[in-house]
Homo-oligomer: A and B are copies of this chain.
């Protein structure tokens, strides 16, 4: 019998700026056994998300920080290999907060079953997973787009942003994406059907926003913060909704967070800036996933996953999120599909 081990990444130190190799401790442990009510999962895919950077910081947030010495928090999909919980059989696919490791012992009540025939497993971590839920509820419940509205999204080639723009189109809006690089921008327009895309690395975002949104932004979905948020604020339509989903440009700051200096535009335009946390919508995930699966099958919604390989590469793969190297959902494959 093959003697597999459980390779893990634990948080060794709270990063200052971008996470460094020395902020992680790589550990190898025996594969655990389940206690009553638990299962053990062989992890296949792990979702890598910009929000993980926030979880590494000390201090109060919408979720407690990862403790020093703890396995880094991450959501994944895997197969049950041992079960001491009724209703869970070996071979079942499940999704849950497994952490950055190859095998997870976890309470069965903390996971949901996954039907591998519904859609590719990676898609179930992307459009049908938390990034898709974040896009769906953030845009529809907080942004409240109306047909004919102009919806602008930053981080548009990322896991959340790409879905936001596509749902905006489905809802009869004009969708404008902001992303880094000509290739991403071409993909947004040619493959995802965005009406326009702005390359923030090579274009004047404020000027292009004025040109692409002559009547102003009705909804701005912000994943990045910083200068791009300020450019959007300077171009709001009356009664605009600014959805605060994240601020990836600011997560690795070593200086204090940059606030949006154009926030008084909220007053001038009678506009609103509102934050949300996707976990609040957990009781509606199934409803949203069903609707999005319908859009996928109808060819209206494309899920793109950027799959990278090997748990040992986790520290450098995570950095892709902050350099903007990923297009679509970044997924780390740490085990084989069967």
Interface positions of A (Cβ within 8 A of B): 60-62, 225, 230, 244-247, 250, 256-277, 280
Distance of A263 Cα from B225 Cα, bound (Å): 10
Oligomer: number of copies: 2
Which residues from B are CB-within-8-Å of A230?
259
CB-based contact A277/B272 at 8 Å: no
Cβ of A329 to closest chain B Cβ, rounded Å: 21
CB-based contact B270/A272 at 8 Å: no
Distance of A264 Cα from B51 Cα, bound (Å): 13
Nearest residue (CB) in B for A225 is B264
- Pick from B259, B268, B280: contact of A263, CB below 8 A: B259
Known: A256-B261, A259-B259, A260-B260. A270 touches B280 (CB 8 A): yes
Cβ of A166 to closest chain B Cβ, rounded Å: 23
Distance of A61 Cα from B265 Cα, bound (Å): 8
Name the 8 nearest CB pairs between A and B, nearest first. A259-B259, A267-B275, A266-B275, A259-B261, A272-B274, A259-B260, A257-B261, A273-B273
Extra contacts, 15 of them, besides A259-B263, A271-B275 (Cβ < 8 A), are A60-B268, A61-B268, A244-B263, A256-B261, A257-B261, A257-B264, A259-B262, A260-B260, A264-B275, A267-B275, A270-B274, A270-B276, A270-B277, A271-B274, A273-B274
Cβ of A101 to closest chain B Cβ, rounded Å: 27
CB-based contact A244/B264 at 8 Å: yes
Distance of A275 Cα from B259 Cα, bound (Å): 17
CB-based contact A247/B264 at 8 Å: yes
Distance of A266 Cα from B259 Cα, bound (Å): 12
Cβ of A188 to closest chain B Cβ, rounded Å: 24
Which residues from B are CB-within-8-Å of A260?
259-260, 263
Distance of A308 Cα from B259 Cα, bound (Å): 38
Distance of A244 Cα from B230 Cα, bound (Å): 17
Distance of A261 Cα from B62 Cα, bound (Å): 17
Q: Report 27 cross-chain contacts, Cβ distance below 8 Å, ordered by A residue.
A: A60-B268, A61-B268, A62-B267, A62-B268, A225-B264, A230-B259, A244-B263, A244-B264, A244-B266, A258-B261, A259-B259, A259-B260, A259-B261, A259-B262, A259-B263, A263-B273, A266-B273, A266-B274, A266-B275, A267-B276, A268-B275, A270-B274, A270-B277, A270-B280, A271-B275, A272-B273, A273-B273
Which residues from B are CB-within-8-Å of A261?
256-259
Distance of A288 Cα from B56 Cα, bound (Å): 49
Distance of A215 Cα from B208 Cα, bound (Å): 43
Cβ of A254 to closest chain B Cβ, rounded Å: 14
CB-based contact A244/B267 at 8 Å: yes
Which residues from B are CB-within-8-Å of A277?
267-268, 270
Which residues from B are CB-within-8-Å of A275?
264-272
Distance of A62 Cα from B257 Cα, bound (Å): 28
Distance of A259 Cα from B60 Cα, bound (Å): 21
Cβ of A198 to closest chain B Cβ, rounded Å: 21
Which residues from B are CB-within-8-Å of A258?
259, 261
Cβ of A18 to closest chain B Cβ, rounded Å: 19
- Pick from B61, B225, B264, B272: contact of A272, CB below 8 A: B272
